[in-house]
Amino acid sequence: MNFEETKLKGLFIIQPDVKGDERGFFMEVFRQDLFAKNGLDLQFVQVNHSRSDANVLRGLHFQYDKPLGKLIRVINGRAYVVAADIRKNSPTLGQWFGAELSAENKTLLYVPAGFASGFCVLGDIAEVEYQYTALYNPQGEANILWNDVDLRIEWPLKDPIISERDKNANTLVGWLKKLESEIF
């Protein structure tokens, strides 16, 4: 496995070693010793799988109680996956990183706690698998507006299909103000 930390501390692109022949392929998705050797001493406690149709955009989602990291991969189709740094005291607060993940390129993205993440489908469908470092807590989750003017994410879709929840999400500035006014 090849681990490449992005310009955003803790956010990694991971390229697994894929062994293939005429029968198909084999690859390791997670190996605790290799992740730890690269500074990611993780324990995953939940695995989720979503399927989205063409032009769907999901996000930007995160969990603040109990903060969680996500290992994300696309197992069918293609998606543009984005992670935005929303850590209040981070030198890269408000910066984002995006990459195409696909069943073909088998690239993984590790998104640490303190980031909001989302994706848009780049084709007919995308099936996305997420491994979480904490259990999902619906009372402790929130989201940031996918097209927040302060983040300026360059999504490859012009008119995405978005849930009501994502349409009504807070801005990054609004979330940071909420953090100051409430105790989580």
Backbone angles phi, psi at 148, to 5 degrees: -50, 125
- Is the distance from CB of 92 to CB of 8 less than 8 angstroms? yes
Q: What is the DSSP letter of 174?
A: H
**Is 61 an active-site residue?**
yes
Would residue 163 be called left, alpha or beta, if left means φ above 0 and alpha means ψ between -120 and 50 degrees? beta
Given the residues 49, 80, 110, 130, the one annotated as active site: 130
CA distance 135 to 88: 23
**Is 64 an active-site residue?**
no
Query: Of the candidates 48, 41, 97, 96, which has an alpha carbon nearest to the alpha carbon of residue 75?
Result: 48
Token couple for 110: 């590790």
Query: Of the candidates 184, 122, 130, which has an alpha carbon nearest to the alpha carbon of residue 156?
Result: 122
Given the residues 61, 80, 110, 136, the one annotated as active site: 61
Residues known to be catalytic: 61, 130
